[in-house]
Structure 1
């Protein structure tokens, strides 16, 4: 693909190394694999987010997240469109009439937790919170908050299933492995790359990380 910043579909990069917009915060080791859309995460995936204003919602993404090519985060709240007014047309920004008022309303920060996997071309709407360990299906349109360790898909996105039992999710949220020192994470990788949550939790309690 000509002028593609990614070498192949197997190529990705750590997002925080390429962020210049002060209203985007991304944690360590979170990566973007954007070959099929050719552009940087900030340029293609984050829409309508001013880089120089202090009064806008922010995009906050945690650690160890995996974001597929062309996933989109819609920002800027309602972008000045008010569906509770007679017209949704943003006269304030069109300069048609100086007497028009600004219809902009913030939606709240868009927050993605840790260890979240967002599939290619998923759309995340303003003000949504995706909690730790969630999985967002390809081309899902996420309009509501997503619970921890829940898989969602569709338009609008709906829960498909939880990844683990409630007790196992409780253990995982207590451990918060993504906040451990990297040396500890390296030691635990064989268990992190397994289904044995109870063994991980037992070792975690013994280590008292």
Structure 2
């Protein structure tokens, strides 16, 4: 089979910093698609960058296919939220009788799943806050703090992250979201890889829609 093995933990021989995320994760509430990678800086695993992600909260981090996530990019999950209708101090975690003031889930500002689309590039030391939805083809600049949803094929940066520009015209973005090259069979992706890498729309139009409507989310397989 040409290309890297999608089931390898470390797809580049001798480089354990390059990790295919779906093959190194252990959290049941963390889902990633084929070929999405994290590039470690100090030998950390991707899960080390997913903070306060507790299964009992019921939220998930879902990452699509072919995403590029640079070192020290962090995902702040819902378990880090504090109660906001009164004092923000977490009295309950100290026990000794204070646990009687443990908040219920509906008293915490939980915003739902954090979703990263397909073919997304997240720069070094970017921070993604809970409940954010990052659209397909988006680019998150290094050290950006993403506090709200990012539309497909949009470049954002800063703290808080704001739109810098769209990568393509609205018409081209609509076409790319129909073609969804990441949902094609890998043989078809390899056939059109030159067009995918260069953004050659004339050739990508020949690729057409995926043969099987897969929905574009790894948790829907």
Smaller-chain TM-score bracket: 0.7 to 0.9
| 43, 46, 53: which one aligns with 2:50 | 46
| 33, 39, 42: which one aligns with 2:39 | 33
Counterpart residue number, 1:156: 160
Whether 2:207 is the aligned partner of 1:204: answer: yes
Kindly state the Cα deviation for residue 167 of structure 1 after the two structures are TM-superposed.
Answer: 0.5
Whether 2:176 is the aligned partner of 1:166: answer: no
Which SS does the other structure have where 1:198 is aligned? helix
Kindly state the Cα deviation for residue 11 of structure 1 after the two structures are TM-superposed.
Answer: 4.6
| 103, 106, 112: which one aligns with 1:108 | 112
Q: Is the Cα contact below 8 Å between 1:57 and 1:77 reproduced in 2?
A: no
Q: Distance in 2 between matches of 1:24 and 1:118?
A: 17
Which SS does the other structure have where 2:198 is aligned? coil
- What do the CA deviations read for 1:94-126 (whole angstroms, capped 9, x no partner)? 225244141434220000000000000000000
Number of residues of Structure 1 aligned to a counterpart in Structure 2: 196
Q: Is the Cα contact below 8 Å between 1:13 and 1:33 reproduced in 2?
A: yes
Q: Is the Cα contact below 8 Å between 1:131 and 1:147 reproduced in 2?
A: yes
TM-score (norm 1): 0.86
Whether 2:90 is the aligned partner of 1:90: answer: yes
The correspondence of residues 142-153 of structure 1 with structure 2, limited to 5 A, is 142-153=146-157
Kindly state the Cα deviation for residue 199 of structure 1 after the two structures are TM-superposed.
Answer: 3.0
**Unmatched runs of 5 consecutive residues or more in structure 2:** 1-9, 212-221
Measured on the aligned residues, the alpha-carbon RMSD in Å equals: 2.2
